Amino acid sequence: MKHVGDMKLYSLEEVTDELIGQKGTPEREDFDNSVEEALHAYRIGEAIRNARLKQNLTQEELGERIGVQKAQISRMERGYSISIPTMSRVFKALGITTATLDLGMAGKVALW
């Protein structure tokens, strides 16, 4: 905590420790994992959006290519409702014909 005039300022780490738990506790590990998963989903959604925009496609047009509503494309682009089968359909519809998942020491897996 830091004092600035009459105000007390707390770092994000201090607030997270207080509200969620200290690093190393099960609650904090669950929280940190959920944040990491959300970040990965967001990045995948961002990649979908960027690829769609490069092709000058609307969300509706991409949805028509894979048989879903515009709202589903919007959710995917925001990092929600992304499964590997759906991701595969989207990227194939965008002309991205191969994708690989890097599993570190376990090696790489071709997704499609």
CA distance 109 to 102: 7
Q: Which residue has the tokens 């290519």?
A: 65
| pLDDT tens digits, one per residue of 53-91 | 999 999 999 999 999 999 999 999 999 978 889 999 999
Whole-model pTM: value is 0.79
Q: If one looks up domain 2-110 in CATH, what number appears?
A: 1.10.260.40
Give CA separation, 6 vs 1, 15, 50, 98, in Å: 13, 19, 46, 57
